[in-house]
Amino acid sequence: MKFLAQILVKIFAVIAILLLAIILVWGLLLSSYPTYSWHQKMTVEVETPDGIKTGSSVTSVKWVDGSNPAIGWNSYYKGEAVVVDMGEGRYLFALLRRVPTGRLQMSSMLIGALSKRKSLGASKKLFDEIVNKHGRASGVVELPDYQYPTLVTFDDLDDSTSVQKVDSHNMAKYFGEGVKLKRITLEVTDEPVTRGTVGKLLTWLVDYSGPRLAPAIGGNIAEAPFNRLVRHLDFWRK
27: confidence class by pLDDT, cuts 50, 70, 90: low
Question: What burial class does residue 216 get, using C-beta atoms within 10 Å of its C-beta: 0-12 exposed, 13-18 middle, 19+ buried?
Answer: exposed
Which pLDDT tens digit goes with each residue over 51-72?
999 999 999 999 988 655 555 6
Task: Write the CB contacts of 34 (distance below 8 Å, at least 6 apart in sequence).
Answer: 64, 65, 66, 124
Question: What burial class does residue 4 get, using C-beta atoms within 10 Å of its C-beta: 0-12 exposed, 13-18 middle, 19+ buried?
Answer: exposed
| Backbone conformation region of residue 201, classed left if phi is above 0, alpha if psi is from -120 to 50, else beta | alpha
Calpha distance 73→235 (Å, rounded): 24
- Count of CB atoms situated within 10 Å of the CB of 227: 19
Domain co-membership, 14 together with 55: no
Which pLDDT tens digit goes with each residue over 176-229?
999 999 999 999 999 999 999 999 999 999 877 778 888 877 666 667 889 989
74 forms bridges with which residues in the sheet? 64
Q: How many domains does the chain have?
A: 2
Which pLDDT tens digit goes with each residue over 113-128?
888 876 666 778 888 8
Domain co-membership, 114 together with 99: yes
Q: Note the pLDDT of residue 39.
A: 96
Which pLDDT tens digit goes with each residue over 106-162?
888 888 888 887 666 677 888 888 988 888 889 999 999 988 999 999 999 999 999
Q: Note the pLDDT of residue 189.
A: 96
* 2: containing domain: 1-32
DSSP state for residue 215 in the 8-state scheme: -
Domain co-membership, 125 together with 186: yes
33: confidence class by pLDDT, cuts 50, 70, 90: confident
Which pLDDT tens digit goes with each residue over 73-103?
788 999 999 999 999 999 999 999 988 766 6
CA 103 from chain centre, in angstroms, equals: 11
Domain co-membership, 54 together with 120: yes
Residue 57 in contact with residue 82, Cβ under 8 Å? yes
Domain co-membership, 55 together with 9: no
Instruction: Give the global pTM.
Output: 0.82
DSSP state for residue 199 in the 8-state scheme: H
Q: Note the pLDDT of residue 238.
A: 86
Domain co-membership, 111 together with 25: no
Domain co-membership, 70 together with 3: no
Domain co-membership, 111 together with 142: yes
- Structural element, H or E, at residue 12: helix 2-31
